Amino acid sequence: MLTPKKIKYRKQQRGHLRGITSRGYELAFGRFGLKVLEGGWITARQIEAARRAMTHFIKRGGTIWIRIFPDKPVTATPTEVGMGGGKGSLDHFVFPAQPGRIIFEIDGVIPDQARQALRLAAYKIPLRSKIVEKK
Q: Over range 88-106, report the average pLDDT.
A: 98
Give the integer Cα–Cα distance in Å for 101 and 25. Answer: 5
60 has pLDDT over 90: no
64-93 core/surface letters (b: 16 or more CB in 10 A; e: else):
beebbebebbbeeeeeeeeeeeeeeeeebb
Give the integer Cα–Cα distance in Å for 29 and 105. Answer: 7
Could you tell me the domains of the chain?
32-76+89-133 (3.90.1170.10)
**Dihedral angle sign, alpha carbons of residues 64, 111, 21, 75:** negative
What percent of the chain lies above the pLDDT cut of 90?
Answer: 96
Output the 3-class SS for 19-36.
Answer: CCCCCCCCCCCCCEEEEE
Residue pLDDT, tens place only, 32-49: 999 999 999 999 999 999
> What's the pLDDT score for residue 69?
98
pLDDT band with cut points at 50, 70 and 90 for residue 135: confident
Backbone angles phi, psi at 132, to 5 degrees: -115, 150
Listed range (22-26, 60-64, 128-132) with the worst mean pLDDT: 60-64
